[in-house]
Structure 1
Amino acid sequence: MEEVQIIIGVPGKWKNRTELIQAVASNGDGYLMAGYIIHNTKKDVCFEVEVYEHDPHLTEAFSYAGSFEDGLLDEIEHHTLTVYVIANINGFEDLKELVDVGASLLKSGGLAVKVETAGIAHTKDEWFQLLENKDYLSIYSHFVTLIGDEESYFSCGMKAFELPDVMTSSSISPEEAADLLNNFNLYNIIEQPSFKEGETFSLEQNSPLYKIAFINECRYEKEDVFFNPFGFIHLFQA
């Protein structure tokens, strides 16, 4: 099984690393930062962290990755540090723990959360809503995004669930593609079927049939943060 790393980034306006560590200790729901880790001894949970100084390109990255009001983007523009949490994911429970540690950083002065491995970003309120309801659909919608180009529509981020991303032709409408890709991904996450090459899939009894083909990761190099080691499932209209 391939090792899967999911990375979230949380910018804040802490004066320095010491203030960040103190803020987490005071407000982080039992999490503590020490060296290159953030851990919760009561839950026996530990993640690797990296802390970076101000990034002049961060505001632009957040503006592309989510829907943010100008006031929040201005706060992100004036961030001093960004905490990156690097999580080795081995199942759905690990994703829930990653949601928790992201929330602990927000409670400690973080401004927003960006899932670096999917290129999707969320406000505090959106992340706290996820914290209250960590079901499959909610976590999927926060960790997976859909992308379209001239040739195809495809998902990005399914490696968080240790599954392939999915793609289909751009010959269908964006709305149809979103419905197809999201429902296929959720079915794959929740039901965990054993798809075989050449099998067909449809959303409903009278919906169009799509033939399943497995392909290797074709969009990102192995070193790219978006690279999915589980590859792609290509849905061709049958």
Structure 2
Amino acid sequence: MSEAFPRHVLCVLGSGLALSEMERIASGFGGFVLDREYSEAEPDPRMPEAFEASMAAASFDESDWAAVESHDTVGYLLSMPMMRELAFDTSRRLLAVTAALLRSGATAVKNESSGITHGRDRWLALADRAADAKDEDLADALASAWVKRPIYDGQVLYSCGMHLLGAPEVEIEVGPEPPTKDELPELVEHLDTLAIYLLTDPRAAEIEDGAGFRMTEDAPRWLLRTGPCDRYDEDDLFFNPYGYVRLTRSE
């Protein structure tokens, strides 16, 4: 296993929100700092394109797009590099930071470490869910917040961001043809079921390559394949030191 430690890099846009205020709000949650080298008290014309590439269409409305267009400040908040056992709690606290920033003048937020964003209402709803959630409900809220999926590479659908929760990425083999709109929801449900299993079930730490897996007791049997993260270099923010777990069809 790689010795790389994941970290959150959160891009925060503001309008009339000083960088010092971003830093003050984040510091109140412990363990988050402002990257002074890259943060700027001026607009960045690349932001609309960057947010569009981060799945903004899934939850942005007109006001969210207007907020990105009208920003005048770009701040980058960093978590500390996260040991595996601290990733879940760090991600929970950063979701609370995100909500606090949006309620204090931030206009849009995206995560550079998984390439995902949400509209303002979606961020706040996820933070509210996570605030009082436990176990599977908390895992679902955090995965929904920080994990980008599904991404298609021509053979598999996969996730990016499970490393921020201390777990391998999840993948499902679909073959050379892209899934249809009718097929996609069920495949994503499989990805999500596997993700929650990896995040909450103690048996997930002992997965063996080729082990069987069922979504429910009477569902078709799948095989689990494991492997190292070979999509990204170790110094890439997307790199997952815990590798991946892939669902393949059982013959």
Q: One fold, TM greater than 0.5?
A: yes
Check whether the contact 1:10–1:84 (CA below 8 A) recurs between aligned residues. Answer: yes
Q: 2:79 is matched with which residue?
A: 87
Pick from 6, 16, 39 the counterpart of residue 4 of structure 1. Answer: 6
Change (3 A) 1:2 1:221: closer
Change (3 A) 1:157 1:204: same
CA deviation map 1:216-237 (0-9, x unaligned): 1122222322111111112221
CA deviation map 1:28-63 (0-9, x unaligned): xxx726xxxx412xx6x1312122342211112212
- For residues 168 and 132 of structure 1, what CA distance do their matches in structure 2 show? 30
Q: 2:31 is matched with which residue?
A: 46
Amino acid at match of 1:97: R
Q: 1:60 is matched with which residue?
A: 49
CA deviation map 1:94-148 (0-9, x unaligned): 2121112222222221012212212111122222222222122111111112112
- For residues 66 and 109 of structure 2, what CA distance do their matches in structure 1 show? 15
Higher relative contact order (CA 8 A, sep 6+): 2
Alignment of 1:173-188 (within 5 A): 173-188=183-198
Q: 1:116 is matched with which residue?
A: 112
CA deviation map 1:142-194 (0-9, x unaligned): 11121123211011110011111021212463223211111001011011322
Structure 1: gaps (5+ residues):
25-30
Amino-acid identity (%) = 26
Q: 2:133 is matched with which residue?
A: none
User: Which shows bigger deviation, 4-13 or 156-165?
Assistant: 4-13
Normalising by structure 2, report the TM-score.
Answer: 0.80
- For residues 48 and 3 of structure 1, what CA distance do their matches in structure 2 show? 17
- For residues 219 and 200 of structure 1, what CA distance do their matches in structure 2 show? 25
Matched positions, count = 221
Check whether the contact 2:6–2:237 (CA below 8 A) recurs between aligned residues. Answer: no
- For residues 145 and 213 of structure 1, what CA distance do their matches in structure 2 show? 20
Pick from 161, 172, 196 the counterpart of residue 165 of structure 2. Answer: 161
- For residues 177 and 149 of structure 1, what CA distance do their matches in structure 2 show? 14
User: Which shows bigger deviation, 118-127 or 179-188?
Assistant: 118-127
TM-aligned CA deviation for residue 2 of structure 1? 4.2
CA deviation map 1:12-31 (0-9, x unaligned): 1237xxx342x45xxxxxx7
Structure 2: gaps (5+ residues):
131-137
- For residues 220 and 2 of structure 1, what CA distance do their matches in structure 2 show? 12
Q: 2:219 is matched with which residue?
A: 207
Check whether the contact 1:113–1:122 (CA below 8 A) recurs between aligned residues. Answer: yes
Q: Does 1:128 align with 2:128?
A: no
Q: 1:75 is matched with which residue?
A: 67
- For residues 14 and 220 of structure 1, what CA distance do their matches in structure 2 show? 36
- For residues 113 and 13 of structure 2, what CA distance do their matches in structure 1 show? 16
Check whether the contact 1:148–1:170 (CA below 8 A) recurs between aligned residues. Answer: no
Q: Which runs of structure 1 show a deviation greater than 3 angstroms over 4 or more consecutive aligned residues?
A: none
- For residues 221 and 55 of structure 1, what CA distance do their matches in structure 2 show? 27
Question: Over the residues paired in the alignment, what is the CA RMSD in angstroms?
Answer: 2.1
Q: Which one has a larger percent strand, Structure 1 or Structure 2?
A: 1
